[in-house]
Amino acid sequence: MTIASNPTPMFDKPVALAPSRHRAALEWVMRYNFVFIFLFAVVVATFLSDDFLTFGNIANLFQQGAIVGIVAIGMTFVILTANIDLSVGSLCAFGGILVAVLLQQQVSGWLAVPATLLVGVAIGTLMGSLTVFGKVPSFIITLAGLVSLRGATFLASDGAPIGGLPASFTGFGSSMIDILPSAGIAFPVLGLIFILITVIAWLVLRYTVFGEYVVATGGNLEAARLSGVPVRAVTIAVFAICGGLAAFAGLLMTSRLHVGQPTAAQGLELDAIAAVVLGGTSLFGGRGSVVGTAVAVMLLQVLRNIFNLLGLGSFYQMAITGVIIVLAILLNRLIDHYAGRT
């Protein structure tokens, strides 16, 4: 009797595919871990409070998370290129003070708002240009920007809040849009702006050449350059986007608070980085999603809601946020290592 020397295909196929399927499933679970954490946090919050899943509370969470969310979307673009912007908190405060000063000087809101946005874009462009042409790490450049912009904010406001702003401007930040007027259901304008910016950013990264360039620049700078990607222009552009969104968030904050506050947005860069990393964007660039960032922003809001329900103070919340950043970075590194990217 002759025995075949090769195994039959029916035994080969399962052995070859089972590990890859298991590996792919495990990698998928690890990559989208923040979604499972978010759902778990929602369940916990619902258990702690019967009012958590009400429409009013959900709308309030979007309103509270809108400012950090808008800044985090801009930060996502920067981190995707393997850079970082530590100046967003100070730039946010500066934008809020700048628009308040302009409005106080009787400048029309139709001019004050675009001027503030342009200044934010210009500052972001400057940060990116210094990083690219000065060949200085973005960490150092934006750290200097963090200090300088905060100082400029205090100088512009004399260290005091700026009030007396037009009602047409201050009413916008806290306004609501009736979604179902018959049922009395309304949604905050700030929350809708956050959602709109997230959708636009997702479309840009997913379906435009610029989005491909951003990911390619962060994935492998030298390979992208040799492939014809204008890596310098792309890097400067993402800093400009981040600066513009930070200034925009600042003027929205001033509108909501009804006053320009020079001490506003302190530590905002920490929240933005936490949301970006927790949302699955790698600090080493080349991989990430603005949708993940948006979900992570809401996760942080839910966690803060839970902290408040548990009676934890702001200092504990800051400490836990720092721990979250470290754990998210370690988890992303584990995912990269498991997927063979490191």
The predicted-structure confidence for 216-233, as pLDDT tens digits, reads as follows 999 999 999 999 999 999
pLDDT of residue 10: 44
If you search the block for the tokens 């998210």, which residue do you land on?
A: 328
Q: 279: closest CA among 40, 39, 31, 85?
A: 31
Asked if residue 294 belongs to a domain, the reply is: no
Q: Lowest mean pLDDT: which of 143-157, 165-179, 224-238? A: 165-179
Say if 50 falls within a structural domain. Answer: no
Q: Do the Cβ atoms of 96 and 264 come closer than 8 Å?
A: yes
Q: pLDDT value at position 17?
A: 41
For 69-107, write each residue's pLDDT tens digit. 999 999 999 999 999 999 999 999 999 999 999 999 999
CA distances from 79 to 13, 31, 294 (A): 41, 17, 15
Q: Does any domain span residue 225?
A: yes
Number of domains in the chain: 1
- State the pTM of this model: 0.87
Give a yes or no: residue 284 inside a domain. no
Q: What is the pLDDT of residues 31-55, one digit of tens each?
A: 666 777 788 888 888 888 888 888 8
User: Which token pair is 121?
Assistant: 């874009």
Percent of the chain at pLDDT exceeding 70? 86
Residue 26 covered by a domain: no
| Helix (H) / strand (E) containing 186 | strand 185-188
Check whether 328 has a pLDDT greater than 80: no
Q: What angle do CA 15, 18, 21 make, to 5 degrees?
A: 150
Q: How far is CA 165 from CA 46, 102, 150, 188, in A?
A: 39, 10, 22, 21
pLDDT at 283 over 90: no
Q: Which of 10-14, 194-198, 232-236 has the lowest mean pLDDT?
A: 10-14
Domain-embedded: residue 65: yes
Task: Tell me if 89 is assigned to some domain.
Answer: yes
In a domain, 251, yes or no: yes
> Average pLDDT for residues 255-275, to the nearest whole number?
92
Which whole number is the average pLDDT over 334-341?
65
* pLDDT of the residue at 76: 97
Domain extent at residue 168 = 55-265
Reading phi first (left if > 0) and then psi (alpha if -120 to 50, else beta), residue 184 is in: left
What is the structure's pLDDT at 18? 45
Please state, rounded to an integer, the average pLDDT across all residues of the chain: 86
* Mean pLDDT of the 119-126 span: 97
Task: Report the alpha-carbon distance of residue 219 to residue 282 in Å, rounded.
Answer: 10
Q: What are the helix and strand counts (H, E) for the chain?
A: 14, 2
